[in-house]
Amino acid sequence: MSALNFTHDPAQRSWVSSANLSGGDFPLQNLPFGVFRRAGSAESFRGGVAIGDAVLDLGALHVLGLWEGQAAEALAVCTQPALNAFMALGPEAAGALRAALSLALREDSAVAERLRPHLVPQAAAEYRLAAEVGDFTDFYASIHHATAVGRLLRPENPLLPNYKWIPIAYHGRASSVRVSGQQFRRPRGQLMPPGATQPQLAATRRLDYELELGVFVGCGNALGSPVPLSEAERHAFGLCLLNDWSARDVQAWEYQPLGPFLSKSFATTVSAWVVTMEALAPFRVPWVRPAGEAEPLAYLDDPGIRECGAIDIQLQAWLDTARMRAGGIPAQRLSQSSFRDSWWTIAHMLAHHTVNGCNLKSGDLLGSGTQSGPLPEQAGSLLELTAGGKQPIALAGGESRTFLEDGDRVTLRGWCERPGYVRIGFGEVCGTVVPAAPV
């Protein structure tokens, strides 16, 4: 796991004045990576770093030839239209570039005037996925979410016997992963209406969001070579926000015996910026199990993970409808939770994913599963917040929702804060539902 170093120093300020504003997502202590170009241009996409309200153009920075060694090697591959090669270099190279950027962007930097022309306002940029996603695996790591959903399906036995032992996951669809701002059509699938004797093909009536984190794999592992838990985070490049949209009525009919299929594969939306594992070092917390719970199997247990394997990341979900936007009514917060409450950590997900010899590759994406807290208002999906659609949520402007309607926009936000350190954020991930495709 990443150690604290000078890049986390809360006293450091940047010559980019917007990076010094209290409550911002992208101070000097963050420096997340993404892929961008100027909006509406024919420029090639290339790597960028968020600093304040701007993007530092890594393609232009490479041309300046400011550095040598690992930082220069890492910067060179950030000129590409996807960051897979950069992620594959591993945490040392990423750390070297992040350290060099921190020095170049701080208040007393000797190269500030050379970098200033290569700042692009974030509002004037367009983004694509930070990496080419070869495979997408979605986990089910929140015990509070699993229990709440289990109560709706199996009130007498909410958690299946394997849940507390195995980081449960399914193989998702990488081709439908898109960057924030995605509009997607309401999906169709087979539904079994209540009381019916046969299913029908129809547009989903129970469309939902899922408040998740995404993990981009950095350096991969060879086929047949499991990654030990103590080394698992070396294979995680960084985290983003992730919304794994779900058609709950399609899911209810199709999920047995093999799990989600068409109910999940139509859209997954991720944030543009990937916060490195190193940037998250100040916000580590112990990974604990409640008293009386069985110990995990040996391959899922490690003293370092117990000491600081969890991360306190605050997560929020917001909703605004087409009518709210037309009336100038701001988005309404639906819930807030923390990733520290997850039953499994990032390291557990990576280690379990490879224990059978499965080979992860640079740019592969892991979803944490819906992150819900122990309280009802900390639920990370409408399925939980509305008790399966039985308790509508009242919205500003007089509307209500059990599940998402056409024109609804969901925005997820995330950040870390702790006394003695500078708050860092993930930006946001937005997605909007549009009507189903005509038949």
Beta bridge partners of 137: 171, 366
Task: Compute CA distances 368 → 16, 95, 133, 211, whole Å.
Answer: 33, 24, 16, 9
Q: DSSP letter at 284? A: E
Write the CA distances from 166 to 139, 255, 330, 355, 387, integer angstroms.
10, 19, 41, 12, 26
* Residue found under tokens 């944490």: 368
Written as one letter, the residue type at 14 is S
323, amino acid identity:
R
Element (H, E) at 150: helix 143-153
Helix (H) or strand (E) holding 149: helix 143-153
**C-alpha distance from residue 130 to each of 196, 261, 312, 370 (Å):** 45, 25, 23, 22
**CA dist., res. 19 & res. 85, Å (int):** 28
Per the document, the length of the chain is 439
* Catalytic residue numbers, as ranges: 145
Q: Which run of H or of E encompasses 240?
A: strand 236-243
